[in-house]
A and B are shown apart, each in its own frame.
Chain A
Amino acid sequence: MPTVSVKRGLLFQALGRTYTDEEFDELCFEFGLELDEITSEKELISKEQGNEKAAKASDVVLYKIDVPANRYDLLCLEGLVRGLQVFKERIKAPVYKRVLPKGEIQKLTITEETAKIRPYAVAAVLRNIKFTKDRYDSFIELQEKLHQNICRKRALVAIGTHDLDTLSGPFTYTAKRPSDIKFKPLNKTKEYTACELMNIYKTDNQLKHYLHIIENKPLYPVIYDSNGVVLSMPPIINGDHSKITVKTRNVFIECTGTDFTKAKIVLDIIVTMFSEYCENQFTVEATEVVFANGKSHTFPELAYRKEIVRADLINKKIGIRETPENLAKLLTRMHLKSEVIGNGNQIEIEIPPTRADIIHACDIVEDAAIAYGYNNIQMSLPKTYTIANQFPLNKLTELLRHDMAAAGFTEGLTFALCSQEDIADKLGLDISATKAVHISNPKTAEFQVARTTLLPGLLKTIAANRKMPLPLKLFEISDIVVKDSSRDVGARNYRHLCAVHYNKSPGFEIIHGLLDRIMQLLNVPPGERKGGYVIKASEGSAFFPGRCAEIFARGQSIGKLGVLHPDVITKFELTMPCSSLEINIEPFL
């Protein structure tokens, strides 16, 4: 969930009133936001870098507000204020307009070289904008928030904003060999080739995260103006030449990316949020973009879409009884201008370009419910009549757990993920013999594989509790995972029961007795007759030679029991003899 920090003073000034922190928290809650933290720059710096560094920082109060991940229109002060003011019916939602310039329209041409790297670009102009320090900061911050969220860390979309007065159109969006791109990047004093830049930015804490997006491509994307000035090398860095400042009056915005829909949304969000500060408020100057296929498009789209939803559907989905007029009013408060049409039971809803999150009637229903107030909705119980069933495997597990505890064994709860070493090397096995599923992106060795046996987890539990009085008697009934090509995903779980006895003597007879008890509980008689169980001398790499038996029940092998091999005991950092039992309980369903 993205967090937006805004200065409290600025926020209240824009809202035209002040709130106590509690009041504002309440308002956020109602609107689906969360006032996550009340802090200041000073506090933040002091927390991260110590009091010394914080001494000079501002102690202006900051609100950190959690915004739902799909509400890109609330990622800056401007949008938050607009959303809340409309919600509280203090202002009407503005209407965003795309206008053509009096003179020539700005033009961006996409060449076909971009196709394999970053094929899409959209652009627009904010004309006669008036920045202040705070507005400018918010403008930069919004781009950062968009980059981190909808733009997926610039992989899907990257934004470049430029001082149009320093440039001369038309612009070209193309792709070139890195060695052929040379320009002075933002905040540097000399020109570098793209190859040099990629090296320099490897140590840049912010930019290093974006290098991988184009690093291994033969061509890098780049935007030029008609004089060959580099506007930007997306998604890495803008040129220094066209950088915007607080004094910039005309801003050229380009968004390039691999996802056309998202590029359009990002551009719409930026221009709708900041056209507020243009001389003609909420108007945006169009830009023509010629795609590689020669087709010409005009951006920003600023598309208003109409949806018609039946009032009774909204009522039925929420569980309220409001008149269509009231519902239209509620929706209008959510930035969705609505009116009752037709026979009086239909509501026509206008979805503005700021609300890309509204993609279905259910999104409209939610907004009506939020405006109505979730906590005002009458609760009721559904009449759904059902007979409950337990999942048979879990039912058996629950029954067995209680009797295992009654037999004197204590329940462990160990991780399903572990290292290869745990399930293979430490048990004297080669990993290839385990049929284990392997994780491709583990951050540490603890998460290399899913366990194929419960034994390592219980032995590690004993190792972590060596100070406890002996004997230690543990059990666990849980799932293990192995590859199985007959399953749709190529792997399956098995429900295992594992028990260990750890004491000054191995206590094989105790583990053996436990097996007899389990079989008694499962109503499996001893003996080789069909349906009975026997144990037969066997061997296993984890067991002491001659002290291992395989367990057969209902005509199939279900597991092994025995005295653990001293090497296994040592590898799990244990010192006492130990006997264990592990069986698959699924044949007893």
Chain B
Amino acid sequence: MADSPVAELLLRRLEAADGGLDSAEVAAELGVEHQAMVGAVKSLQALGEIIEAEQRSSRRWELTTEGEEIAREGSHEARVFHSIPPEGLAQSELMRLPSGKVGFSKAMSNKWIRVDKSTADGPRVFRVVDSVADEVQRRLRLVQCGEAEKLGEKERSELRKRKLLSEVILKTYWVNKGSAFSTSISKQETELSPEMISSGSWRDRPFKPYNFSARGVLPSSGHLHPLLKVRTQFRQIFLEMGFTEMPTDNFIESSFWNFDALFQPQQHPARDQHDTFFLRDPAEAGQLPMDYVQRVKRTHSQGGYGSQGYKYAWKLDEARKNLLRTHTTSASARALYRLAQKKPFTPAKYFSIDRVFRNETLDATHLAEFHQIEGVVADHGLTLGHLMGVLREFFTKLGITQLRFKPAYNPYTEPSMEVFSYHQGLKKWVEVGNSGIFRPEMLLPMGLPENVSVIAWGLSLERPTMIKYGINNIRELVGHKVNLQMVYDSPLCRLDAEPVRSRMQEAA
């Protein structure tokens, strides 16, 4: 059984027909609304190959409401003409007729009537001819019978200007039998039900096909933050490479560990109020490892360990000043100091990824806090070539293979090298990290053996994430102004796989 009687009727007609049918014609023949026929065609189409339907559009002339009235009752001018008795009619009276105004001027220009203004009681209207042929009514009746093509272009456009005719575009279907044509269509099931399974009725039932181009319903779930998904991947990479995670859960650090221990002189611009957040409370670090502090002081102010030193008056008060750590290298310094206290020396590989703070001017790519990634290897006889080799492995795991190294200056590494990688999108070399070998003036006062070198490198977590995900404004990624939709939509983080840029940008 078909879904609707109209569909069933259509199928019967189609069975009898030789070749195809026009939906509008069938509708007219069956005396149903064309819209109902279109619905039947669509529902049959959805069933698969029962019918084939091709959409066509055709133009057709139709009468307007006024046009239909004229086709029925005659044109205004004819009605005016017929309402005038042989003895004539007062013009004022004629004007009060429904067709009066329009009909009068039209009948005048057709020379069917005349006005006599000499009569005593105002102008009177008289017939001029005995009978008239109502051409407008005839033409409209032709259109009404579907024979509009018998009218000339000029005649049609005149009627259209008088708003008696309008042209409509009709969308119809040209319907043919489909490959699975049948007049007996049974109602399709939408879903499999437990009853069907238990009764086995699913075997005899047709099922409505699925629309596979529609979107599914997203599962309701929680989501991890994209930057922290990248953090997870970086941790994974370091762990794969045998690096042990350093404790970094101390945002507050003394100037000593943040700067002095790294052989960063006390007048260094990074120690300026403009660059670093210092603390008002607690303003100073109460405890410092004083033996070690003395060695650091001597190295800064007088030199030693083969160094000339910076030759300035090093002040303990300056070293005690508390601050929000400006880099996680302070945590690396603490870890290396602990390592130096263990005798005999055992080689170590360390990493950390955590927040650091800078009292900087904020813009689209800089915030006052960001995450720093740091890797450190301490062993006998490490070389610059080793550093480059470790960097190559590390960046390969990030999917970055084209590397180049530029000499650079860092206060606590020497030699120092900036790491550049070729960016396919930007078509240029971009800096992806900074690295070097820690200065002996940093390591030897800690108590590390002289022939132990420590290679290290660092990069920010935000920058590769922004490049990877195509995010231009860091505030969309980090902080409370994050776009949660972006968090919901963010894909897996697979650093060595193809960039996920385009999808992320869509989401943003």
Contact = CB atoms under 8 A, between A and B. Distances in A.
Interface of A: 1, 29, 31-32, 34, 68-71, 152, 155-156, 259-262, 316-320, 359-363, 365-366, 369-370, 374-375, 377-391, 393-394, 398, 401-402, 404-417, 437-443, 446-447, 450, 457-458, 460-461, 463-465, 468, 472-473, 475, 479, 481, 483, 485, 487-493, 495
B488 to A, nearest CB: 7
B488 A450 contact: no
B117 interface: no
A383 B439 CA distance: 21
Contacts of B308: 359-360
Contacts of A69: 409
Given A391-B245, A398-B232, A450-B252, A439 B480 contact: no
A361 B305 CA distance: 10
B384 A384 contact: no
A378 B385 contact: yes
Pick the 3 closest A-B CB pairs, nearest first: A319-B385, A319-B383, A32-B407
A440 B278 contact: yes
A560 B206 CA distance: 58
Interface stretch (B74-82, B130-138, B280-288): B280-288
Interface in B245-264: 245-254
Contacts of A411: 222-225, 228, 487
A29 to B, nearest CB: 5
Contacts of A439: 277-280, 324
Interface stretch (B33-41, B42-50, B191-199, B309-317): B309-317
Contacts of B499: none
A438 B414 contact: no
A401 B269 CA distance: 39
A359 B303 contact: yes
B249 A393 contact: yes
B453 interface: yes
Interface string B300-327: 0001011111111000000000101000
Given A317-B453, A360-B307, A362-B439, A463 B480 contact: yes
B423 to A, nearest CB: 16
B377 A374 contact: no
Interface of B: 220-225, 227-228, 232, 235, 238-239, 241-254, 267, 269, 273, 277-288, 303, 305-312, 322, 324, 347-349, 355, 357, 359, 367-369, 377, 379, 381-386, 388-390, 392-393, 404-409, 414-417, 437, 439-441, 453, 455, 477-485, 487-488
B135 to A, nearest CB: 65
Nearest to A451: B251
A404 B482 CA distance: 19
Contacts, number: 289
Max count, chain B CB within 10 A of own CB: residue among A387, A458, A490, A492: A490
B482 A413 contact: yes
27 contacts: A152-B267, A259-B312, A359-B309, A361-B440, A363-B414, A375-B404, A375-B405, A377-B385, A384-B349, A388-B243, A388-B245, A389-B245, A394-B235, A409-B222, A410-B222, A411-B223, A412-B480, A413-B478, A438-B281, A439-B324, A442-B277, A442-B359, A443-B359, A479-B249, A481-B252, A489-B250, A489-B286
Given A359-B303, A398-B232, A489-B254, A374 B242 contact: no
B408 A32 contact: yes
Max count, chain B CB within 10 A of own CB: residue among A378, A394, A409: A394
A398 B369 contact: no
B430 to A, nearest CB: 12
A360 B377 contact: no
A385 B243 CA distance: 10
Contacts of A463: 480
B288 A440 contact: no
Contact of B416 (A366, A446, A460): A366
A475 to B, nearest CB: 8
Contacts of B241: 388
Nearest to A414: B480
Nearest to B404: A375
B431 to A, nearest CB: 9
Contacts of B368: 415, 417, 446-447
B351 to A, nearest CB: 9
A97 B269 CA distance: 32
B242 to A, nearest CB: 5
